[in-house]
Amino acid sequence: MSRAQRLLELLEILRRHRHPVTGAALAAELGISQRSLYRDIATLQSQGARIDGAPGLGYILRPGFTLPPLMFQVEEIEALVLGARWVADRTDDTLAQAARNALAKIAAVLPPRQRDDLDSSTLLIAPGAARIDQGKDIPALRKAIRGEQKVTLVYRDAQDRESTRTVWPFALAFFDSVRVVVAWCELRQGFRNFRTDRIVRIEVLEERYPRNRQALLEEWRTLEGIPPD
């Protein structure tokens, strides 16, 4: 690849890592020497990329640096289109519209040839359980998760028994046939899953829960034996 392509690839690799990554690992992924990598890091830093670190310590890209005009590989465009079509077909109205808006914004800044690739993608979502009965409170739950706010649920279980719970929602899982809120339940003092179609009523509280949602997610993943993304 050209050096310009390599610099963009280096930025994308750094974006994927939330923690410092060693120069040796970066150089190996790019297929270049560490000396070339250090030159590339210096070039990106001189162009405004907030890359912290040093040889032997690892590097991390801080938020706030925007890429030049978007350039995607064909497979990346197909992945974006397929994902947006799934969201538009399988989720609530708010997310569906957001997916369509996002594709329109991406198309607006793509070069003409890549815009054609986006418009002409032939990857389709097969018919399935589109717009299932998933409950009317999905947007409120997403907002509570973003704000790390407690939620009071009136919930009906599989035996049609109702209970009232105060929970700390931190994740929302989208399956083909059901949506599931993953939360810490104050009543049970543990992690519990709640199907959104069984939620009778919710109230998003002003009170924030005492733990970071990412920490809750990581602890839940560990308990469930789910590897990190």
Spacing of C-alpha 152 from chain mean position: 25
Asked whether residue 127 is assigned to any structural domain, the reply reads no
pLDDT band of residue 71 (cuts 50, 70, 90) is low
Query: Mind listing the pLDDT tens digit for each residue in 84-122?
Result: 988 888 888 888 899 988 888 888 777 787 788 888 888
53: pLDDT strictly greater than 60: yes
Contacts of 168 (CB under 8 A, 6+ apart): 148, 150, 151, 183, 184, 186, 209, 211, 213, 216
Asked whether residue 194 is assigned to any structural domain, the reply reads yes
Alpha-carbon gap, residue 118 to 106, rounded angstroms: 9
44 and 7 in one domain? yes
Asked whether residue 67 is assigned to any structural domain, the reply reads no
The 3-class secondary structure across 98-133, one letter per residue, is HHHHHHHHHHHHCCHHHHHHHHCCCCCCCCCCCCCC
Asked whether residue 133 is assigned to any structural domain, the reply reads no
163 and 219 in one domain? yes
94 and 52 in one domain? no
Query: Mind listing the pLDDT tens digit for each residue in 109-157?
Result: 777 877 888 888 888 887 765 455 566 688 899 999 999 999 999 999 9
Q: What is the CATH number of the domain that holds 50?
A: 1.10.10.10
More confident call, 137 vs 70: 137
Side by side, the strands of the sheet bearing 162-174 are 190-195, 179-185, 162-174, 149-156, 199-208
What pLDDT is recorded for position 142? 92
Average pLDDT, the chain: 86
Range of the domain at 106: 74-119
Q: What percent of the chain has pLDDT over 70?
A: 92
163: pLDDT strictly greater than 90: yes
Asked whether residue 129 is assigned to any structural domain, the reply reads no
53 and 7 in one domain? yes
Q: What is the CATH number of the domain that holds 163?
A: 2.30.30.520
| Domain count for the chain | 3
147 and 107 in one domain? no
Q: What percent of the chain has pLDDT over 90?
A: 46
Mean pLDDT of 202-210: 95
95 and 20 in one domain? no
65: pLDDT strictly greater than 70: no
Alpha-carbon gap, residue 166 to 173, rounded angstroms: 19
Contacts of 9 (CB under 8 A, 6+ apart): 1, 30
